[in-house]
Structure 1
Amino acid sequence: MKIASIPLLASVAAAEVLQLGINKIAPGHHTSRLARRATYIENLANNITGGGYYADVSVGSPPQPQRMVLDTGSSDIWVVAYNADLCTSQRMQEYYGDTCSDVFTPSKSSSFELVDRRAFSIKYLDGTASTGDYITDDFSIANTTIKSLQMGYATKVVRGTGILGIGFSNHVAAATPYPNIMDELVKQNIIPTKAYSLYLNDRRSPEGSILFGGIDTEKFIGNLEVVPIIKDISSGKISSFTVDLEGITVAYPNGSKADIKMPAAEMPTLLDSGTTLSYLPQAMAEDLFEDLGAVTDFKTTGLTFIPCDYLGANSRPKSDPQTLTISFTFGNKTIRVPVQEMVLDVFADYDGPVPIKLPFDNACLFGIQSLGGFSGQSNGIASADFLLLGDTFLRSAYVVYDLTHQQIGLAQANLNSTASKIVELRAEDKSIPSLTGVPAQQQQASPTASKTAGTTTDKGGNVVTVTASPSPSPSNVAGRSGRAPGSDSLVIMAAAGAFAVLGGALMVL
């Protein structure tokens, strides 16, 4: 996969604080083919690596540029070997619909060392895997070099882009845990504590930022609330950024609300930047789909779609309380996600009819999907036991990931902020500090209109318009059993698949 060049936006923000620009790569920056194998949902989730958030770093001496997927859901950094199977096999590239971008060549680096041959093996929730060796080499990020950082050197891959895993070191893929990037940043006196702040920004913005060792109070609204990290459902210990979710509520423009039924009072929820969509247990997802008139295409893709008419909410300011929102409550903090942040017009540049039969003509991909489609994966985890909130949620939140104190800081994101006021975290801090951001949303992005004018009616009887027409003609959303004609949807579904990357390494082999 050849990715268009985007300038690095990295700089040292303050003493002992590192700020790195992260770039959002949309499907339009590459072309992909889908493999005709397995089930469509596996193809769509596994074989496309666009639509995520990438960081520009470098590895080796002299530095070899690398573009990596930023992943809070895993803990290993790994590079793609120059001679990886995917990189050298045209047959594999056609099969998996991907090619290699930036690769790493050990012989070109004077600081390279082999640590353990054939010891690197990691498997992700979506079934993708990478295997190879463990190595050490110099790793440069945000104009700062970490010496002799251990990472994976992947010789067998199905995606052509490396991963920048920034989770707990006890969750690495190695049989014996090793100090990962977060440990080395502190050990080498680059930052004072193992913590960073993530700001993905508006879905229409091409870039966000990650701040190692600090918090930017201009990037969030109101109080930064602290919630504890709980034990990971697979490891039984604190090894991932899992927190308790206490509720999901749909708030309609007419003031009514609908709570999504949960199987338990609190649900383990992974906050994972490496996953482009968000996933709920099947029963919860179906409850939400019914409320909003979303429809699952069971026959062809396994994905859930929603009328693009919901993008009409873009015409309202984000601070407008009448905007339809999906709210997620964690303890004392509720993050409100405007529904348009969950509506992805993946067919916007497609000139023909969408080859999926749905009860609405203007189909958009819904940013929340069901985990039921992954129930057959051999991951040893029941899909009803947890939630996974990816980029479609995280864009609306400002999240502080504190590994030292095993805490998460949560606040509503101040989208499109151009100001910065950084508070440096200190080694002597006993917790994430109590901080307050800006009082209200500071900027408003330009509205992005839907491709088709019209309206839709949700279960709550609320008509959501896509234009400012004074007399819209509502069209009721039909049932939930979409059907498709067959394999002719392969090409167009590549666009939808670009948003369906599952990055979190919930299972490490």
Structure 2
Amino acid sequence: MMFTSLPSHLALTLLVALDSFSSSGGLSSAAPSPNAQPLSVPLLRRYTQPQNVTELGAWARNQRIAIETKYGIRPPVDKRSNGMNLLTNQNADSSYFGSIAVGTPPVSYDVILDTGSADFWLAASDSEGSNIESDIPRFSPPGSSSFVTQNASFSIRYGSGAAQGTLGSDVIQMAGFEVQNQVFGVVSQVSENMLNPPVSGILGLAWENIATSQVKPFWQVLAQTEGLLDEPVMAFQLTRYIDAPRVRSAEPGGTFTLGATNSSLYEGDIDYQNIPDGSVGYWILEMSSLLVQNQNLSLPEDASFAAIDTGTTLVGGPAGVIQAIYSAIPGSSAATGEYEGYYTYPCSTTVTISLGFGNSTIRWPIEPAAFRLARLSADTCLGGFFELSSSGSSAPNWIVGDVFLKNVYSVFRASSPPAIGFATLSSTALAMNGEGGPLPSPTIASSAAAVTATGVGIDRASSAATRIYSTPMGAMLLAVASTLILKLLQ
């Protein structure tokens, strides 16, 4: 069997894969003028290609393990009312990262943007011999006059390793907004190959009640400060390069908009569906319909909750439903060995699959090119949906990552009530897929709407904040033997 081309999809938010290519790029957060329209954070993408089927199998296996670990399924291993940050697309749609500025004076760092986790952490300057590569930018507490230590340790375990350090607080800036006294992790030790340059850490964009640090996340501080944002929302438009020829290791990744939506990137209405009562923590929706090859598949009532996770690359779901999906695709078969839980199908088959959520009658289609994870041979392709073993855990039944999110404009609304919305991508947004162009470069706004974080004290009764999760694609970590090792996930 011959391996032609695999886009190294990371399934997580803490991700990280090795680059087979030497080129790399930086991310930027375009600093908007005071009167600017909604600003977006440019995203960048980096590309890694497994060298053979063995490496691809190791990657696929660890992708599945990383998602299960992230969600606790598997045990460890001037006032600006809206702003925009350009994103970077990393590892062929594996993860997307943007820039954030920390400290006084402010220094910019690239971080995975991950709606599947709620903690923010950066690699620390005092991390020699810690498996943090020398060319990864690191945060230096002594270099910031506003940094305050919290006298508490910080520890996170991932599917392929762990990160640990201490907690501190400082001034954080992103997309024209500033939060003072924001608590975050200053990480001095990580497992080997956990971070991939130029990414320095993870910015969790889920809710406070799943934060390891017990700290209200940066985005939530802004959204819950009265009168600060035009709207209590954040929105993503993600580019697709998985099917593009001659892909660079880093590509323009799309936009992240805070406090507003960007009408140039979608058309029609945004279809909001409320987060089910009692489910705020992860960004959760009920998956209500599934259409495959024009066939409606039934969904069990007790197995339909889905986490919408920008830090995860693929889509994982209940084994029975995943089996039904591939049964509707002629010529499909269950994979074995390292590919256990995945399915193959004939590359000549155009797969049409659409997802519906909540009470909406709308089904959102996934492009066939986005569904195809890899070509294993001239005739055999690997699908981007896999079986997620969530039995006996409190994790959502579905983890819906970038395989789906690249096909829609997604909006995460904090209140009135909390909800997730999807809209059709505009022609402007679609034209960015595979287009290439200059990469965004980190910038720091000359002025920022500022707010002081409150209610973010650390429980000193517990000296370590610990959570088991993985990535980065955030961040999911894919520990890949040989050249690929991975979290956002994002």
- 1:241 corresponds to: 283
- 1:337 corresponds to: 366
- 1:459 corresponds to: none
User: Would you say 1:5 and 2:25 are equivalent positions?
Assistant: yes
Alpha-carbon contact 1:16-1:190 (below 8 Å) kept: no
Once residues 116 and 279 of structure 1 are traced to their aligned partners in structure 2, the CA distance between those partners, rounded to angstroms, is 38
How many correspondences in the alignment?
384
User: Would you say 1:200 and 2:238 are equivalent positions?
Assistant: yes
Alpha-carbon contact 2:223-2:414 (below 8 Å) kept: no
Once residues 249 and 115 of structure 1 are traced to their aligned partners in structure 2, the CA distance between those partners, rounded to angstroms, is 50
User: Would you say 1:157 and 2:185 are equivalent positions?
Assistant: no
Identity value in percent? 18
Aligned mate of 2:260, from 198, 201, 214: 214
Alignment-mate amino acid for residue 264 of structure 1: E
Offset, 1:275? 0.4
- 1:273–1:43 CA distance, 2 compared to 1 (3 A): closer
- 1:291–1:101 CA distance, 2 compared to 1 (3 A): farther
Offset, 1:74? 1.3
- 1:121 corresponds to: 155
SS across alignment from 2:261: strand
SS across alignment from 1:82: coil
- 1:41 corresponds to: 62
Alpha-carbon contact 1:54-1:70 (below 8 Å) kept: yes
Contiguous gaps of at least 5 residues in structure 2: 1-17, 68-76, 78-89, 245-250, 436-479
- 1:369 corresponds to: 386
Once residues 280 and 394 of structure 2 are traced to their aligned partners in structure 1, the CA distance between those partners, rounded to angstroms, is 19
Offset, 1:139? 1.7
Offset, 1:286? 1.6
- The CA RMSD measured in Å over matched residues stands at 4.0
SS across alignment from 1:103: coil
- 1:186–1:410 CA distance, 2 compared to 1 (3 A): closer
Offset, 1:325? 3.5
Once residues 43 and 398 of structure 1 are traced to their aligned partners in structure 2, the CA distance between those partners, rounded to angstroms, is 25
Offset, 1:295? 4.0
Once residues 22 and 38 of structure 1 are traced to their aligned partners in structure 2, the CA distance between those partners, rounded to angstroms, is 23
Offset, 1:123? 4.6
Once residues 132 and 142 of structure 1 are traced to their aligned partners in structure 2, the CA distance between those partners, rounded to angstroms, is 27
- 2:118 corresponds to: 75
- 1:25 corresponds to: 46
Deviations 1:147-196, CA, capped at 9 Å, x for gaps: 2322111233232241111122232212x444633314653965244311
SS across alignment from 1:27: coil
SS across alignment from 2:404: helix
Alpha-carbon contact 1:183-1:194 (below 8 Å) kept: no
- 1:102 corresponds to: 137
Aligned mate of 2:413, from 365, 381, 402: 402
Deviations 1:233-267, CA, capped at 9 Å, x for gaps: xxx5422210111111113xxxxx22233222771
Deviations 1:76-118, CA, capped at 9 Å, x for gaps: 111112344xx625xx58xxxx887222121222221111321
- 2:296 corresponds to: 259
Offset, 1:284? 1.1
Aligned mate of 2:325, from 267, 276, 288: 288
Q: Higher Cα Rg: structure 1 or 2?
A: 1
Deviations 1:430-461, CA, capped at 9 Å, x for gaps: xxxxxxxxxxxx759679xxxxxxxxxxxxxx
Once residues 156 and 399 of structure 1 are traced to their aligned partners in structure 2, the CA distance between those partners, rounded to angstroms, is 34
* Greater relative contact order structure (CA < 8 Å, 6+ sep): 2
- 1:296–1:68 CA distance, 2 compared to 1 (3 A): farther
Alignment-mate amino acid for residue 342 of structure 1: F
Once residues 25 and 67 of structure 1 are traced to their aligned partners in structure 2, the CA distance between those partners, rounded to angstroms, is 13
Alpha-carbon contact 1:201-1:415 (below 8 Å) kept: no
Offset, 1:334? 1.8
Offset, 1:303? 5.6
Once residues 36 and 356 of structure 2 are traced to their aligned partners in structure 1, the CA distance between those partners, rounded to angstroms, is 35
Equivalent residues in 2 for 1:314-393, closer than 5 Å: 324-332=352-360, 333-345=362-374, 361-372=378-389, 381=393, 386-393=397-404
Alignment-mate amino acid for residue 424 of structure 2: A
Once residues 63 and 118 of structure 2 are traced to their aligned partners in structure 1, the CA distance between those partners, rounded to angstroms, is 23
SS across alignment from 1:225: strand
- 2:180 corresponds to: 147
Alpha-carbon contact 1:221-1:413 (below 8 Å) kept: yes
Once residues 288 and 220 of structure 1 are traced to their aligned partners in structure 2, the CA distance between those partners, rounded to angstroms, is 28
Alpha-carbon contact 2:272-2:422 (below 8 Å) kept: no
- 1:187–1:446 CA distance, 2 compared to 1 (3 A): closer
User: Would you say 1:279 and 2:316 are equivalent positions?
Assistant: yes
Deviations 1:385-440, CA, capped at 9 Å, x for gaps: 5111000111112121111234334334325516xxxxxxxxxxxxxxxxxxxxxx
Alignment-mate amino acid for residue 40 of structure 2: Q
SS across alignment from 2:142: helix
Alpha-carbon contact 1:202-1:395 (below 8 Å) kept: yes
Following TM superposition, the consecutive aligned residue runs of length 4 or more in structure 1 with deviations greater than 6 angstroms are 36-39
Contiguous gaps of at least 5 residues in structure 1: 252-256, 314-322, 348-353, 355-359, 419-441, 448-488, 505-509
- 1:243–1:38 CA distance, 2 compared to 1 (3 A): closer
SS across alignment from 1:214: coil
Once residues 190 and 60 of structure 1 are traced to their aligned partners in structure 2, the CA distance between those partners, rounded to angstroms, is 21
- 1:411–1:44 CA distance, 2 compared to 1 (3 A): closer
- 1:277–1:43 CA distance, 2 compared to 1 (3 A): closer
- 2:171 corresponds to: 138
Alpha-carbon contact 2:95-2:488 (below 8 Å) kept: no
Offset, 1:40? 4.4
Deviations 1:189-218, CA, capped at 9 Å, x for gaps: 652443111111334573211111111223
SS across alignment from 1:151: strand
Alpha-carbon contact 2:100-2:173 (below 8 Å) kept: yes
SS across alignment from 2:366: strand
Once residues 342 and 141 of structure 1 are traced to their aligned partners in structure 2, the CA distance between those partners, rounded to angstroms, is 32
SS across alignment from 2:270: strand
Deviations 1:312-370, CA, capped at 9 Å, x for gaps: 85xxxxxxxxx83433343213211122211133x6xxxxxx6xxxxx64444422111
Alpha-carbon contact 1:199-1:413 (below 8 Å) kept: no
